[in-house]
A = this chain, B = another copy of it.
């Protein structure tokens, strides 16, 4: 694998999508695919597909294309999906519970070790067999357990404080669902899921489409 320190985030964002399509193809027992055929399925140009993959290595073979199984494995490995991640969820409202449930059932390498909340009504509950602990105990928990990913499902006002605690406790990445932008120390990865922003840009396109219709 080539040096991947400076690969653009546009490329990285496409990798999970490649992987999804390859997974579907695997299930259909397809053995190989050319960048051209993949282009027709996935909607990126064949040229972009080859460029993207060649950031990480020459996974194809001239005259043949790409072996689906092996490309799937390569991409999984590039993304780090051949490793396991221990996660904690802070904020155990509906969204936190949904995430817990979702990762529990669908994401084999990502395990939720514990959930935390300040709400006494939630503390002590078990969600998908994961205990909800008092947020007061987060620091202690992180001293005793290695945690890779902190999932933030609090409101926006608590999010930064929570993140500071998670980072102090040694997480390597934050998956943030709170509708705010966070400050992280160097070396901790951040991925935002800003549902509100997402819904707002949907609203924009809904209206743009309607305006275009009016002009016809």
**A positions within 8 Å CB-CB of B:** 4-5, 9, 12-13, 15-17, 19-20, 43, 78-81, 83, 85, 93-95, 97-99, 101-103, 106-107, 110, 148-149, 172-173, 175, 179-181, 187-191, 193-210, 212-213
Name A's interface SS: helix
Q: How many copies does the complex hold?
A: 2
A95-B102, A98-B97, A206-B173 as given contacts; A193 in contact with B198, CB under 8 Å = yes
25 contacts between A and B (CB under 8 A): A12-B201, A12-B205, A17-B181, A17-B197, A20-B180, A78-B204, A79-B204, A80-B207, A81-B200, A81-B203, A83-B203, A85-B206, A93-B101, A94-B98, A94-B101, A95-B102, A97-B98, A172-B210, A173-B202, A173-B206, A175-B198, A175-B199, A187-B213, A189-B205, A193-B195
